[in-house]
Chain A
Amino acid sequence: MMSVLEVRGLSKSFGGVEAVADVSFGLARGEFLALIGPNGAGKTTCFNMLNGYLGPDRGSVKLNGQELVGMRPRRIVRMGVGRTFQITLTFLSMTVRENVQMALIAHHRRLYDLWSRAAQMFVPEADALLDLVSMREQAGRPCSELAYGDLKRLELAIALAHEPVLLLMDEPTAGMAPSERVALMELTAGIVQERGVSVLFTEHDMDVVFAHAHRILVLNRGRLIAEGTGTEIRENALVQEVYLGGGTVFAREGDDA
């Protein structure tokens, strides 16, 4: 099967310290791929190279065969790479609907329109996206009033406005209650399946990872140390040692580095 995303030999050092070293993996269409590892393992650096915020020292990132390395972040967005942030980032001075409308306006390249009324543009499309994440009833509320879980869902709708082929989600359930986590990931998984979007996500909540990821990559000290299904990863001795911990149910974060 042709990969949507092909990462080959991705490497980055900061002041002589290898943050990401020779990372290679592929991501198939419609696949839900988790990237896990201890704090400081290089997950964020990896993400930032895929987004274009950091230039890798070596390696290549190909989206549907096209090289992304060297492109500016906004160009990569236009190529179909959407993202959600670990700490939600929305336009707080706008309503829920306007946030989605802004994404649609940007997607349709109408940002330099000086005349149309932004609040009246792409309303049906925005509402359809809000329906998708069950946020339609809150469409007119100012974003600054939303609960955290709702902001996360809004972020998902914003990311989908770009009709991405690949969605990068940085700790999508961080800061959410356990029940909310499950709901958000189920919602995401459903949308992914329906729209054929591929997702790469980082996550600290192993319940979320094992329940939803089709495949899991484990990063430690900048290197991929394991790759496989949930069962394979759970049983991997090395992963247990550096990340999952010895037999207990706790991920011993912070014990590395």
Chain B
Amino acid sequence: MLEVVNLTARYGRAQILNGVTLTLAQHEVVALLGRNGAGKTTTMKCIMGLVEKKAGEIRYDGRSLMKLPPHMICRVGLGYVPEERRIFPDLTVEENLEVGRRPPRADAPEWTEDHLFELFPNLAERRRNLGKQLSGGEQQMLTIARTLMGNPRAVLLDEPSEGIAPVIVEQMAKVITELKNEGLSVLLSEQNLHFARAVSDRAIIIEKGALRFEGSFAELDDRPEISQQYLAV
């Protein structure tokens, strides 16, 4: 469904993609692994059109996304949950959701506010609170819920477990599984291997902006040198 071929990009001076290639099939959860600065966030921003791309190809259902602005990329059915939890701090929870709302689409599950409040009960209690009054975990839930309001077919989740209490991370794992059951595809960038392993079907490892490994977690376990080289601390 989503294909990234040999993508190169610049982001400031520090992070450069040197040919990232990956695919995301329907109903699949793929973990994008790698260290800090390996290029995970840049890859996601590139796919969403938020970073200037230099070369390569990004295709969605065979259609090139390379020249599209972010809002058009969103409209083809790609949802994006950024890493810094970019909620709108002075908007209420309900208003944050409203910004994400898009018309339902035939090829993707439809989400309503009520349905989302079932999935995220904490948010339901705080629907009239401002974004900035939420805790870190609640804000993370809100960014996911906000993206789901756009009824996407696939979601790009950038480091959802970063800086979040373990109990919320567990809840997050449940949510991702739920999304998969609903028929969504998820591309998940993670540093927390345990969490990634619990929810993903496949792993992709990038380092210095290029692909280093692609395969199942079982395959990854069979090759400890890979994780030691690109993930280990």
- Interface flag for B194 (CB, 8 Å): yes
Decide: A174 near B232, CB < 8 A? Known: A253-B192, A254-B163. no
- Say which residue of A175, A248, A256, A257 sits within 8 Å of B36 (CB atoms): A175
* Cβ B193 vs Cβ A250 within 8 A: yes
Among A27-35, A126-134, A189-197, A199-207, the stretch in contact with B: A199-207
Report the count of interface residues on A (CB-CB < 8 A).
28
* Cβ A250 vs Cβ B36 within 8 A: no
* Cβ B233 vs Cβ A206 within 8 A: yes
- Interface flag for A123 (CB, 8 Å): no
* Cβ B233 vs Cβ A178 within 8 A: no
* Cβ A255 vs Cβ B36 within 8 A: no
- Interface flag for A249 (CB, 8 Å): yes
Q: Kindly state the separation between the CA atoms of A21 and B80 in the bound complex, as whole angstroms.
A: 38
Scan A238-257; emit 1 where CB is below 8 A from any B CB, else 0: 00000000001111111111
Give the distance to chain B from A251, nearest Cβ to Cβ, in Å: 4
- Interface flag for A177 (CB, 8 Å): yes
- Interface flag for A106 (CB, 8 Å): no
Contacts of B166 in A (CB 8 A): 255-256
- Interface flag for A64 (CB, 8 Å): no
- Interface flag for B216 (CB, 8 Å): no
- Interface flag for B191 (CB, 8 Å): yes
Give the distance to chain A from B140, nearest Cβ to Cβ, in Å: 11
- Interface flag for B15 (CB, 8 Å): yes
Report the count of interface residues on B (CB-CB < 8 A).
26
* Cβ B37 vs Cβ A175 within 8 A: yes
Residue of A nearest to B168 (CB): A257
Q: Kindly state the separation between the CA atoms of A18 and B208 in the bound complex, as whole angstroms.
A: 37
* Cβ A144 vs Cβ B13 within 8 A: yes
- Interface flag for B231 (CB, 8 Å): yes
Q: Kindly state the separation between the CA atoms of A55 and B177 in the bound complex, as whole angstroms.
A: 46
Contacts of B162 in A (CB 8 A): 39, 253-254
Contacts of B35 in A (CB 8 A): 205
Give the distance to chain B from A207, nearest Cβ to Cβ, in Å: 7
* Cβ A255 vs Cβ B37 within 8 A: no
Scan B133-168; emit 1 where CB is below 8 A from any A CB, else 0: 000100000000000000000000000011111100
- Say which residue of A40, A175, A252, A257 sits within 8 Å of B15 (CB atoms): A175
* Cβ B229 vs Cβ A207 within 8 A: no
* Cβ A257 vs Cβ B163 within 8 A: yes
- Interface flag for B76 (CB, 8 Å): no
* Cβ A249 vs Cβ B232 within 8 A: yes
Scan B187-207; emit 1 where CB is below 8 A from any A CB, else 0: 000011110000000000001
Scan A91-132; emit 1 where CB is below 8 A from any B CB, else 0: 000000000000000000000000000000000000000000
Q: Kindly state the separation between the CA atoms of A252 and B193 in the bound complex, as whole angstroms.
A: 8
Q: Which of A203-257 contact B (CB under 8 A)?
A: 204-207, 248-257
Q: Kindly state the separation between the CA atoms of A209 and B171 in the bound complex, as whole angstroms.
A: 33
Q: Kindly state the separation between the CA atoms of A251 and B233 in the bound complex, as whole angstroms.
A: 6
- Interface flag for A135 (CB, 8 Å): no
Q: Kindly state the separation between the CA atoms of A114 and B152 in the bound complex, as whole angstroms.
A: 60
Q: Kindly state the separation between the CA atoms of A215 and B90 in the bound complex, as whole angstroms.
A: 45
- 5 residue pairs of the A-B complex, CB under 8 angstroms, read A88-B14, A175-B14, A177-B207, A249-B232, A257-B165
Residues of B within 8 A of A (CB): 13-15, 35-37, 136, 161-166, 169, 191-194, 207-208, 227-229, 231-233
Instruction: Please list the 8 inter-chain residue pairs (A to B) with the smallest Cβ-Cβ separation, ordered nearest first.
Output: A175-B37, A206-B233, A251-B233, A249-B232, A148-B14, A254-B162, A254-B161, A177-B208
